[in-house]
Amino acid sequence: MKKLINNPDHVLADSLVGVAAAHPELNVDHINRIIYRGTPTRKDKVALISGGGSGHEPLHGGFVGLGMLDAACAGEVFTSPTPDQMHEATKVADSGAGVLHIVKNYTGDVMNFEMAAEMAEAETGVKVASVVTTDDVAVEDSTWTAGRRGVGITVLLEKIVGAAAEEGRDLAAVTALAKHINDSGRSMGMALTSCTVPAAGKPTFEIPDDMMEIGVGIHGEPGRHRVPLASAAEIAQQLVEPILVDFDFTGSPTIVMLNGMGGSPLIELYVMYGEVAKILQKSGITIARNLVGNYITSLDMAGCSVTLLKVNDELLGLWDAPVNTAGLRWGV
């Protein structure tokens, strides 16, 4: 295992030291492993909290700041944060307008966020709502979930719902919007290579040099099938087609994210984006906005995923609204 780390057991703690050093505009609670905004949440603003296992950076800590999250809980690599962490984050971020938990659909995350919500409501009376993202069309149930996995839509949701919360919308409205976005988005990913979890010290799965995994999860969990290596154009087809079969993206503008899994260089991600854009154009889908880069990663896995989100003018306005985070920044 070749990694830029001190000790496989201290990766999260050490990376949070780096986050704190690099981002004086954020607060880092090293005990509870929470990243939260340096300026307290406004009294009239619903607080947005997310979190999950580490190893997917910039998700979620890189999306804390104006226009996105108020706080993010970092679990150990590929391990859910604890209910206590989420409870602490809920307390630190709540300003009285309530808290939305944004939860990727993995069994541990869902269970722990539910417990945290109960703890927070019982202890402090804070109103907590939640949205569970389920955009991955690859598999209906997986080794890590009941139902579909939550992946790339989480990034787009945090941005758009973050803008809505910043506008002062109430908890019910923010929650409804979050559910609408999850319902309107779909993703599919693939891997050329496995990731390596530091504490495991070896690749999560073995894959031959001439094969790739289509529909892979963001922890290296199995996808739909393992097939021979193919061209970028064919890979794009294998990612986009299942998405379009699952949901109709014609007739409205669409936001497209071509996301790198962590180990694929940007030049390849642009090759992939070119192929995805061609397919969408042929399918009569209008790309209104796009992201190309590493946004929800799987450590050092080589590969990529595609996320589509059907939007309208209102959602595009929220997308374009100012955001000031380590991972996404514009308008400020």
Catalogue the active-site residues: 56, 219
Binds a second copy (CB under 8 A): choice among 32, 50, 54, 112: 54
Strand partners, 146: none
Q: Which of 320, 25, 42, 38 lies closest to 166 in space, CA to CA?
A: 42
User: Least distance from C-beta 59 to a second copy, angstroms?
Assistant: 10
User: Least distance from C-beta 126 to a second copy, angstroms?
Assistant: 30
- Give backbone dihedrals phi and psi of 5, rounded to 5 degrees, phi first: -140, 165
Q: Does 155 bind a second copy (CB under 8 A)?
A: no
Q: Does 214 bind a second copy (CB under 8 A)?
A: no
Q: Which is nearer to a second copy, 5 or 111 (CB)?
A: 5
User: Least distance from C-beta 88 to a second copy, angstroms?
Assistant: 21
- Give backbone dihedrals phi and psi of 3, rounded to 5 degrees, phi first: -140, 155
Binds a second copy (CB under 8 A): choice among 19, 26, 119, 315: 19
Under rule CB under 8 A, which residues in 245-304 are in contact with a second copy? 258, 262-275, 277-278, 287, 290, 292, 294, 297, 299-300, 302-304
Q: In which order are the strands placed within the sheet that holds 128-133?
A: 26-29, 34-37, 71-77, 47-54, 99-104, 128-133
Helix (H) or strand (E) holding 86: helix 83-93
Give burial (CB, 10 Å; 0-12/13-18/19+) of 298: buried
Q: Does 329 bind a second copy (CB under 8 A)?
A: yes
Percentages of the chain per state (helix, strand, coil), in multiples of 5: 35, 25, 40
Q: Does 31 bind a second copy (CB under 8 A)?
A: no
Q: Chain-centre distance of CA 229, in angstroms? A: 26
Strand partners, 141: none
Binds a second copy (CB under 8 A): choice among 64, 102, 119, 235: 235
User: Least distance from C-beta 43 to a second copy, angstroms?
Assistant: 28
Q: Which stretch binds a second copy (CB under 8 A): 13-21, 85-93, 217-225, 246-254?
A: 13-21
Q: Which stretch binds a second copy (CB under 8 A): 85-93, 145-153, 305-313, 324-332?
A: 324-332
Q: In which order are the strands placed within the sheet that holds 286-293?
A: 225-228, 211-214, 185-191, 303-310, 253-260, 286-293
Q: Which is nearer to a second copy, 177 or 326 (CB)?
A: 326
Give the separation between CA 47 and CA 68, rounded to whole angstroms: 9
Q: Does 30 bind a second copy (CB under 8 A)?
A: no
Half-sphere exposure of 172 (CA within 13 A, CB side): 0
Q: Which is nearer to a second copy, 43 or 209 (CB)?
A: 209
Q: Does 146 bind a second copy (CB under 8 A)?
A: no
Q: Which two tokens stand for residue 70?
A: 């108020």
Q: Are 70 and 64 in contact (CB under 8 A)?
A: yes
Q: Which stretch binds a second copy (CB under 8 A): 12-20, 94-102, 128-136, 179-187?
A: 12-20
- Give backbone dihedrals phi and psi of 247, rounded to 5 degrees, phi first: -150, 145
SS3 219: coil
Binds a second copy (CB under 8 A): choice among 193, 254, 307, 325: 193
Q: What residues line the site for a second copy (CB under 8 A)?
A: 2-7, 11-12, 14-22, 54-55, 57-58, 62, 77, 192-193, 209, 212, 229, 231-233, 235, 258, 262-275, 277-278, 287, 290, 292, 294, 297, 299-300, 302-304, 326, 329-332
